[in-house]
Amino acid sequence: MKTILMGALAALTLAAATPAAACDEHAKKDTHAGAARAAPAEKPAAAPVGKNGVSTVELTVTSKGFEPANVKVKAGHPVRLVVTRKTDKTCAKELILDDLGINQPLPLDTPVTVEFTPSETGTLRYACAMDHISGIVTIQ
Ligand SMILES: [Cu+2]
């Protein structure tokens, strides 16, 4: 009787430990991490400046990563990123924008807003917490 109970406990511990493994999608394929680290080759999607002077950019997190992974905005205008994570099959559960000190959690199916005003032209890179999945904002 005692042995059976021990077995059940071990099984429980295992089951509890499995979902805690972060970034397992990436861990399975190491080559993916290296490839994704390069700037996305995708042509930037231009985000127009709205009447309120703000460029609103809708981003989604899917199993493919951030979409679109490259957006173009204008320097000197506030940018509002509205980010919605649509899948649990991603480790991009946060958006890290190192240059601006932004670390924004991305709850499932809930649009969250990240706002900043880029003053200079160039690119801003953002990524998941483990820096596997990334995207860029091109500032012109
Ligand atoms: Cu990751």
DSSP 25-69: HHHH-HHHHHHHHSPP-SPPEE--B-TTS-EEEEEEEETTEEESS
Reported as a single tens digit per residue, the pLDDT across 2-15 is 444 444 444 444 44
If you measure from the C-alpha of residue 73 to the centroid of ligand 1, how many angstroms do you get, rounded to a whole number?
25
Give the pLDDT band (50/70/90) at residue 89.
very high
Share of the chain above pLDDT 70, in %: 70
Ligand 1 centroid from CA 92, angstroms: 6
Mean pLDDT, range 55-61, rounded to an integer: 97
Phi, psi of 91 (to 5 degrees): -100, 5
Which listed CATH number (2.60.40.420, 3.40.50.620, 3.40.50.300, 3.60.21.10) goes with 3-139? 2.60.40.420
Ligand 1 midpoint to CA 113 (Å): 20
Q: Is residue 107 reached through a cis peptide bond, with omega within 30 degrees of 0 on the bond before it? A: no
pLDDT of residue 34: 42
Q: What is the mean pLDDT of residues 47-57?
A: 94
CA of 52 to the centre of ligand 1 (A): 35
State what percent of residues in the chain have pLDDT above 90.
Answer: 67
Pairing state between β 79-85 and 112-116: antiparallel
User: Beta strand pairing status for 70-73 and 134-139?
Assistant: parallel
Q: Is the predicted pLDDT of residue 17 greater than 90, yes or no?
A: no
For residue 86, give every residue at least 6 positions away whose Cβ sits within 8 Å of its Cβ, in sequence order, or none.
60, 61, 62, 108, 109
pLDDT of residue 43: 81
Distance 11 CA to ligand 1 centre (A): 28
> In angstroms, what is the span from residue 65 Cα to ligand 1's centroid?
9
pLDDT of residue 90: 96
- pLDDT at residue 44, as a whole number: 84
**Residues contacting residue 27 through CB under 8 Å, at least 6 positions apart:** 21
- Please check the confidence at residue 42 and state whether its pLDDT lies above 90: no
